[in-house]
Structure 1
Amino acid sequence: MISRIATASLGLVLVGSSVFAQSIADAKKAIDAEQYQKAKSMLKNLTATQADKDENFFYLGWVYLKQDYADSAKAAFTKGIAVNAKSALNYAGLGAVARLDKDNAGATNNFNQAITLAGKNSKPYQYVGEAYLLPLTPEAKVTPADANAAIAVLQKGKTVNAKDAELLITLGNAYRSQLKSNEAYQAYSDASTIDPKNPAAKVATGVLWKFANNFEDSEKQFQDALAIDPNYGPAYREWAETDLRWSLNDPKMASVKIKAATDEYKKYLSLTDLSLESRMRYADFLILSGDYKTLQTEVSTLSQAANTNPRVYRYLGYAAYENKDYPAGLTALNTWFQKADPKRIIPRDYLYLGRLQIASGQDSSGINTLRKALELDTTQADVYGEIAKSLYAQKKYAEAGDAYKVFIAKSRTATLNDYLKEGVSYFYAFREQYFSTATPKPVADTTLLIKADTAFSYIQHKAAAPIATVALYQARANDFREPSRNTTLGYAKPYYEQYIQLVTAKQPVADADKIFLGEAYAYLGTYYEFKEKDDAKAGENFTKARENDPTNKQAVAYFARKGGASKSK
């Protein structure tokens, strides 16, 4: 099979354009097979030799649209209308461009014109439906409103021509985008019945089974498509993406299926024209598979090509960040922002740019960029955690605490450790205000202590067992609640006692914990000396404080006051 594929691919490269079949049918077949360069070559020739046929201009524009060249697509559709002012297909094309440009009014007007002019031709209905399904988000999700609009126009097209297999496949795709599997399956089955030799219907059914995690039946559909046409590249591409999903859902099959997916994607590439666009789709696959090393190598090569698509720099920025090559990533994404049409910038671009800026020491810029990402896509709740981490590193503790609080409220991945980070952030924010040497000296905000204690208390309530570190911070926060640092009412006492109990329960005590034990015992010593007036217990606790931390200032001061009495034996 591999040798046959290689031979077929080589043939496509070597055959001169003069012998390409000069027909719309062959050009459409090349488009369906994702051989866009071949299709474009055919269609450019057809627009020159048959310049009076508006259909030639439409399919040329549609290829440009598939390749993400909206301006070139619009120019082709406009020429098609110049040839035939009543060209329904080219109005459908202009509507698609307007929709990608987020010009809803323009899209609606052009779609309505296309349907008005369609007459008994179902193709304008099909392409208006396809236009509604074009991806507008990085996740390529179709909104329910767009899917319903596509279904409505495709159902009308079906009444015009119930035997249009391509329209039925598009209808199935619209249903599938909304997880309406039964309706999608029926549309694909009807398409296969009408045109048994259409591999696209089999592939579409395979994709439907993929999203149902029915991987065995999915593979059978791809095999059936390749039995119809062994050189049908999209079958290998979808097979590769199915095997990738299989690997993620079944750890036992992971290594086998990832290798199979890679091999299948290479077959797909060999069956296309290895154009920039097909290689960029391979880049999408590499992102899905998490193979950022291969991705960086691939897109680094593409970025050096003349007249490369600026989108290459997006991929290069993503890959370089994941590979910790921050200088290259920052340069690449800055280039993408400079070269890209502003309408092509997506929230994920801001997300990666912000991460790269933070990783490059540009924390303030990075935080602002991450906030821009959140402004554009509020579902990315985990970004609040990244913002909080950066704010904490900059010692902007109050802002960090607020960011952790929002992250916890919005994210599904928050853990008790995030509550600890929230509490510690608020605690440090208060302490920073309390010890401030600024003039005038700020009044420390005690609500920060309340926020900190609330976070700490939540952890102790939810944890399987009390946590020593949390008890220590609870003690510190409550110690700051004292009316004066020179007196003690015992607010922190139960927490320091709990900390001592938890740490000393495991013997021997870790050296790293001894300085904190010294802190806890010194607090208790102070409490018993000044609040309880119990010299015996005060001396006992200060002795333990000194044993654990000979440098503890409170213990040193106590024994200085006592003239060295109560020294540890």
Structure 2
Amino acid sequence: MSKFKIFSIALLASAAVSQAQDLDQARKAIDAEQYEKAKSLLKSIIQTKSNGRASFLLGNIYLTQNIEDSAKIAFDRGLSSEEGKINNIGLGQLELNSGNVAAAKSKFDAVTKDLKKKDVEEYIYIAKAYMNADKPDYKAAIEVLNKAKAANPTNAYIQLALGDAYYGEKNQNEAYAAYRNAYQSDSSLIRAKMQLGVLLKGAKAYGEAIKAYDEVIAINKSYGPVYRELAETYYLWANNKPSTYTENIKKALDSYNEYMKLTDYSLTSRMRHADFLILARDYVALEAEANEMKKLDKVNPRILRYLGYSAYENGNTEAAITALNEFIAKGTKIIPGDYYYLGLALVKKSIGADGKTVDATMLKNGAAEIQKAVTMEPVLANGLNEIGKKYFGQKLYDVSSAIFEAAISSPTSKNYLEDNVYYGLSVFTINRGKDAKTIDLVSLDKADKAMDNVITASPTYQEAYLYKARINSSLEKDDVMAANYDKYLTYAFEKLKKDLEKANVDLSNNNYIQDLYKNTIKDFNYSIYQDELNRLKPKLTEAYNSIAAFYANTDKVKAKEFFGKTLVIDPTNNYALESLKLLK
């Protein structure tokens, strides 16, 4: 009997050692972002014997994968297990995600109240809960970690967590010191060394960041997360330096593929990969990834998002609308991009097969979805410039005006001024020649304000005054029209004068542009400016004739003066010649 007892104790001890080893392996797999491997190890531990720490780690993985229901089940089960109290930290993070900060703190306090002085792991996980919550609280995390640091100043994991907290706070210096200290304390903690490269990435020192990652790869070429960081760094470099885009995007995609090989091809990992493919604009690969995800989980709604985005970009408008409508109807964590792509697809579908006719209702619905997206995330307006200009070039002015109207609702857009110009031109072109019954006065008034936006930001941009004059002509605001044509002339001549001065032309005897046609200035080749002069000629005559017509009924002398200026530039201008006859 005593031998049996000894044998049983030995078995229990062996099982405990095995569980500890599996827990250690699971922690390493989590750090390497091999989440499916870690989940398998932890589930195996829990099935053998209920284990509070294994349940906690499993729940944390589910939180990382945004599967909150499964996380809560794991934490609740772990509470009643040996060492189960730590699961309150996971439940506390769920409270933080719900906005219940006091309830979260209560759960954290329940974990720390009986801790021994040297027990710091729980403090680290509490700090991570604050950092990983939907609304991170880095100050609270730093406060918790400083308590742990006071108890154990050289603990590498405390330093690593402090580095993450300071990085979240955008305190580069403290983050660097913490990551450096972590790696110096424990050189096996390769994530700390990798994070030194992440700091360089954040500082836009992309080349230096890549060198830092290469050092990590030299130590452990199988460490998956470093390839993800490489991918993200190459992506940022490509976008911040367009001349490197093609080369660096390829490196980014290759690095992310390597990351996938070294981690796993689970649904969660594939979704993260899909998100990166959207950033990298590789929509062919995105569609392939979405179809692979569909094989793994036919009902997961996020797959519909990826199918919708890729279908639109790959030219399948109907499939995009179907997928995105279905996804949005499910109401599962909708993001601005969902409305954006649905709107673009509806706008595209609104254009008839002849490429000319437009379904006004569908266009309106599509524009409303785009506007909703831009309101939620103004940076999306940046991408509308290229799309709007494409439709403008196709003379689909109804469509381009709808796109640019959404774009100019975001004053922070990098194309804000140009988008205002194109919006004004689109609206003016739509209404040009319409009679009082069909003209859209509301849109023309918006177009007028769009030109004001341009003039406010760039007062010497001559074309804005020209466009504003034309718009006000359509609005029958003749005084505003004449004033803006006059400003257009002023800035047009100023620009020509500066151009000629740069060419060292003597302008002392030149009063008007007609002098440019007289080859009286020695050693000056007028043909240099011939293209510009030919381009300006119709605009100048338009401005002179319009101002003259404005004065025709009130000030015949001024009217004759401006018609005379037209004839100096264009002696055969029929409108000016006939008008002068009437004024006599």
Higher relative contact order (CA 8 A, sep 6+): 1
Please say which of residues 112-121 and 229-238 is displaced more in the overlay: 112-121
Would the alpha carbon gap of residues 134 and 369 (structure 1) be closer, same or farther in structure 2, given more than 3 Å must change?
farther
SS in 2 for 1:168: helix
Residue pair 2:237, 2:244 contacting (<8 A) in 1 also: yes
Residue pair 2:274, 2:306 contacting (<8 A) in 1 also: yes
Residue pair 1:347, 1:374 contacting (<8 A) in 2 also: yes
Would the alpha carbon gap of residues 426 and 454 (structure 1) be closer, same or farther in structure 2, given more than 3 Å must change?
farther
RMSD: 5.0
In structure 2, what is the Cα distance between the partners aligned to 1:452 and 1:217?
43
**2:348 corresponds to which of 359, 373, 380:** 359
SS in 1 for 2:173: helix
Q: What's the TM-score once normalised by structure 2's chain length?
A: 0.70
SS in 2 for 1:411: coil
Q: 1:188 Cα deviation (Å)? A: 1.8
Q: How does 1:64-83 map to 2 (within 5 A)?
A: 64-83=62-81
Aligned to 1:474: 469
SS in 2 for 1:237: helix
**1:87 corresponds to which of 68, 73, 84:** 84
Q: 1:155 Cα deviation (Å)? A: 1.8
In structure 1, what is the Cα distance between the partners aligned to 2:214 and 2:538?
68
In structure 2, what is the Cα distance between the partners aligned to 1:509 and 1:219?
48
Residue pair 1:420, 1:459 contacting (<8 A) in 2 also: no
Would the alpha carbon gap of residues 318 and 163 (structure 1) be closer, same or farther in structure 2, given more than 3 Å must change?
farther
In structure 1, what is the Cα distance between the partners aligned to 2:156 and 2:145?
12
In structure 1, what is the Cα distance between the partners aligned to 2:116 and 2:159?
18
**Which residue type is aligned with residue 38 of structure 1?**
K
Aligned to 1:97: 94
1:260-299 deviations in whole A, cap 9, x for unaligned?
4443333322222322222222223323333233222222
**2:231 corresponds to which of 230, 240, 243:** 240
Q: How does 1:174-253 map to 2 (within 5 A)?
A: 174-215=165-206, 217-249=208-240
Q: How does 1:483-502 map to 2 (within 5 A)?
A: 494=486
**Which residue type is aligned with residue 416 of structure 2?**
A
In structure 2, what is the Cα distance between the partners aligned to 1:477 and 1:114?
71
Residue pair 1:34, 1:233 contacting (<8 A) in 2 also: yes
Would the alpha carbon gap of residues 310 and 507 (structure 1) be closer, same or farther in structure 2, given more than 3 Å must change?
same
In structure 1, what is the Cα distance between the partners aligned to 2:455 and 2:177?
56
**Which residue type is aligned with residue 365 of structure 1?**
N
In structure 1, what is the Cα distance between the partners aligned to 2:374 and 2:450?
25
**2:336 corresponds to which of 347, 370, 373:** 347
Aligned to 2:279: 288
**Which residue type is aligned with residue 37 of structure 2?**
K
In structure 2, what is the Cα distance between the partners aligned to 1:97 and 1:235?
29
Residue pair 1:98, 1:106 contacting (<8 A) in 2 also: yes
Q: How does 1:115-134 map to 2 (within 5 A)?
A: 115-116=112-113, 118-120=115-117, 121-134=119-132
Aligned to 1:42: 41
1:10-38 deviations in whole A, cap 9, x for unaligned?
xxxxxxxxx99962111111111111111
Aligned to 2:257: 266
In structure 1, what is the Cα distance between the partners aligned to 2:454 and 2:242?
37
Q: How does 1:455-474 map to 2 (within 5 A)?
A: 458=456, 461-463=459-461, 466-467=462-463, 470-471=465-466, 473-474=468-469
In structure 2, what is the Cα distance between the partners aligned to 1:242 and 1:490?
54
Would the alpha carbon gap of residues 122 and 353 (structure 1) be closer, same or farther in structure 2, given more than 3 Å must change?
farther
Please say which of residues 347-356 and 185-194 is displaced more in the overlay: 347-356
Would the alpha carbon gap of residues 214 and 350 (structure 1) be closer, same or farther in structure 2, given more than 3 Å must change?
same
**Which residue type is aligned with residue 301 of structure 1?**
E
In structure 1, what is the Cα distance between the partners aligned to 2:73 and 2:378?
35
In structure 1, what is the Cα distance between the partners aligned to 2:481 and 2:91?
76
SS in 2 for 1:83: coil
Q: Is 1:113 aligned to residue 102 of structure 2?
A: no
Q: 1:67 Cα deviation (Å)? A: 2.1
In structure 1, what is the Cα distance between the partners aligned to 2:403 and 2:283?
31
Q: 1:513 Cα deviation (Å)? A: 9.1
1:441-461 deviations in whole A, cap 9, x for unaligned?
x99999879747745755873
Please say which of residues 163-172 and 317-326 is displaced more in the overlay: 317-326
Residue pair 2:337, 2:373 contacting (<8 A) in 1 also: yes
Residue pair 1:57, 1:76 contacting (<8 A) in 2 also: yes
**Which residue type is aligned with residue 420 of structure 1?**
V
Aligned to 2:524: none
Would the alpha carbon gap of residues 44 and 512 (structure 1) be closer, same or farther in structure 2, given more than 3 Å must change?
same
In structure 2, what is the Cα distance between the partners aligned to 1:331 and 1:149?
44
Matched residue count: 518
Q: 1:96 Cα deviation (Å)? A: 2.1
Q: How does 1:135-174 map to 2 (within 5 A)?
A: 136=134, 146-174=137-165
Please say which of residues 234-243 and 365-374 is displaced more in the overlay: 365-374
1:337-385 deviations in whole A, cap 9, x for unaligned?
24453xx223333333333333333333334334443554466665898
Residue pair 1:240, 1:260 contacting (<8 A) in 2 also: yes
Q: How does 1:404-423 map to 2 (within 5 A)?
A: 406-408=409-411, 410-415=412-417, 417-421=418-422
Q: Which stretches in structure 2 are left out of the alignment for 5+ residues?
A: 1-17, 351-361, 497-512, 517-528
SS in 2 for 1:23: helix
Residue pair 2:381, 2:406 contacting (<8 A) in 1 also: no
SS in 1 for 2:277: helix
Residue pair 1:524, 1:541 contacting (<8 A) in 2 also: no
In structure 2, what is the Cα distance between the partners aligned to 1:481 and 1:252?
47
Q: 1:115 Cα deviation (Å)? A: 3.3
**2:310 corresponds to which of 287, 302, 319:** 319
In structure 1, what is the Cα distance between the partners aligned to 2:268 and 2:408?
43
Residue pair 2:278, 2:286 contacting (<8 A) in 1 also: yes
Aligned to 1:25: 24
Q: 1:93 Cα deviation (Å)? A: 0.9
In structure 2, what is the Cα distance between the partners aligned to 1:531 and 1:132?
74
Q: 1:91 Cα deviation (Å)? A: 0.9
Would the alpha carbon gap of residues 406 and 472 (structure 1) be closer, same or farther in structure 2, given more than 3 Å must change?
closer
Q: 1:117 Cα deviation (Å)? A: 5.4
Q: 1:308 Cα deviation (Å)? A: 6.3
SS in 2 for 1:461: coil
Q: 1:77 Cα deviation (Å)? A: 0.5
Q: Which stretches in structure 1 are left out of the alignment for 5+ residues?
A: 1-18, 137-141
In structure 2, what is the Cα distance between the partners aligned to 1:489 and 1:369?
35
**Which residue type is aligned with residue 345 of structure 1?**
I
In structure 2, what is the Cα distance between the partners aligned to 1:310 and 1:515?
57
Identity %: 32
**Which residue type is aligned with residue 435 of structure 1?**
A
Q: 1:71 Cα deviation (Å)? A: 0.8
Would the alpha carbon gap of residues 545 and 508 (structure 1) be closer, same or farther in structure 2, given more than 3 Å must change?
same
1:377-421 deviations in whole A, cap 9, x for unaligned?
46666589899999x955998x9998676534x434422x34434
Residue pair 2:363, 2:399 contacting (<8 A) in 1 also: no
